[in-house]
Amino acid sequence: MKSVTNNSEEVEVELNQLRSQKITLAGGSIAWWPCHIGVNCQIGSGGNIGALAHIGADVIIGNNCKIQGGAYIANKTQIGDDVFIGPNATIMNDKYPPSGDSSLWKMVDIGDRVVIGGGSNVVAGVSMGDDSVLAAGATLTHDIPVGEVWAGNPARFLMSRQQYDAKR
């Protein structure tokens, strides 16, 4: 076990049997190396960030969030509590890249208990209401209301979260 300093806070790094590094963050959250966590991020307790994930600067992540490997989360994204983000999901902040002008970037706001499927895309400026779901491989171009499941490219309403949960 080795202690290192990250953003003025001490974290512990240990080598597991598979030779990847596990970084323990404040509140018991874990990040698997290699991953990128940008400056001024706020990460809640009980979370897990997978290897090869990219968390941009000024991102706020709530408690008990699971961010799978390869996920990309752009600067200034806000993520609520108990959110699942699948592998290789992309959350963008630039509607017409590369704008090069951060004043043109649009924040994405993700509510509590949201599920974002693997390989899906969330474009700049949208919000996802509490208990919403974006299916794997979907591209979200509009806000999702509370408790709805959307799928497709572009994503459209598919069913209610209640119907989704009944299938699990």
When comparing pLDDT for 109 and 25, which is higher?
109
**Residues 93 and 124: beta-carbon distance below 8 Å:** yes
What's the pTM?
0.87
Q: Strand, helix or coil at 44? A: coil
Structure tokens, 104? 């043109």
For every residue of 7-32, DSSP letters joined together read TTEEEEEEE-TTS-EEEEPGGG-EEE
Domains and CATH numbers, the chain: 2-167 (2.160.10.10)
The region of weakest confidence among 12-16, 34-38, 41-45, 106-110 is 12-16
32-54 mean pLDDT = 93
